[in-house]
Structure formats: C-alpha cells, structure tokens
Amino acid sequence: MANPRAEAVAELVRRLGHDFRTPALLERALTHASVSEGGSPQTSKAPRDNERMEFLGDRVLGLLVADRLHNDFPEADEGQLSSRLHALVDKAACGRVGERLGIGQALRLSPGETKSGGRRKEGVIADAVEAVLAAVYLDGGLDAARLAFDRLWAEELARTPERGLANPKSALQEWAQAQGRPLPTYRIADRSGSDHAPTFTIEVSVEGVEPISAQGRSRQDAEKSAAIAMLKREGVI
C-alpha cells in the first residue's frame, strides 16, 4: 500500500536537491511540536520536534541571505540591504518557499493539528522550511546549505523589491494621515512557539479600514509585516 507521506518526503528531497547522509535529521526537521504534546520530555521514545532546528535554520538563513545581498548589491546601503533581507527571511517568503517545496504533505503533525489545517498554515510551513535548511546545514555543512538556499530562494531573489518596504510602519502612518485618519495602532493578537523561537501575530488597525494581521519572529518584525500587508491590500504598494 502506498504511503502518501513517504512519497511526499521523497518528492521534497528531490526538489531540495540534497541527499541526506543522516535521514533522521530531515525527519526531525519535519516533526511539528504537536506530535510531542502530552508526552514526557524525559522519555527517550518521545518524538523530538523541529523547534531547535528552526532556531538554527533561522540564523543560517539570515547569514546566507546577508552574504548573497552583500555580494549582489555592492552599491546598496545598510538600510536597503536590511529592507531586502527582511523581505527574504520573513514568514511570507518562507511560506512561499515551503509551498513550492511541497513541505506541507511531508510534515509529521498530531491528528488535531492536521484537522485544524496545519499542513496549510503559513507559520507551520515557514518554520519547517527553516528547520529543513538547518537539517541540510547539519548534514552537509554551509556549502550544502548555500546550494539548497540558492535553489529554493531563486524565485524570491528574483522578485522586484516593493516600494514602502524600507520603513513600512512610517509608510502606513503617512498614508493614514493623508486620508485624514488617526495613526495606526498595533496589538498582539497571539504569541505562540517556544521561548527561544516565538511567533508573534500582530493586528494593525486604522480607523475606517478593516484590520489585518501578520506574523513575525519578534513583535517588531510582525508589526512591519502587518503594515506591509495593509499597504498591499489598500493598493498603496
């Protein structure tokens, strides 16, 4: 009988372009924290989830993006590089990479998380992408991680930088004032994940406009993402 998840993992490896010497690293990278819910952390049989690998993958991704931008844009200043980096490492970008990679069907999730649509959640997919990048790094080193990054982020790197990304909160503030509305307000709608790798969901509101939410690895990043989301929805950028 065919095993749909095994087939999805095999297809993911093919798209990833990396042959794992230690397949257990990939398996851990694809294991969501929900699988361990209710289990004892002291029990050796308890599944190990991907949160620690996500933490590492986030740093590996940041280094690879910074190195690539530093080489590709020798005339860009720090602000321009930071803006471009943010757009390439945020949850939206990682989520798109994960969708193209087909990572959702390869994940190990609890029945409850699966039922709630975990395989399609941007945050779950984005976190898994970073964990998979960490798995490649641990398995083959930085050169292997760079090859995977170049392959997976090719479409993101080719995207035209959008207006308003350098300081999206200021851009949203200026737009609101131009419309004769009060300044935007931000609130934490949710905080999930572990202490060392939290995910913030921020809702931004502008009077007379429907609120919109976005996620980020810090409150600041989530606020920027929420501002960008509103600017895009309202046709400002």
Q: Which residues are catalytic?
A: 58, 130
3-class DSSP assignment, residue 161: coil
> What is the CA angle 214-137-34, rounded to 5?
50
Report H helices in the chain.
Answer: 4-16, 23-29, 51-72, 78-89, 91-101, 111-115, 122-152, 154-158, 168-178, 219-233
Separation CA 133–CA 128 (nearest Å): 9
Separation CA 153–CA 158 (nearest Å): 9
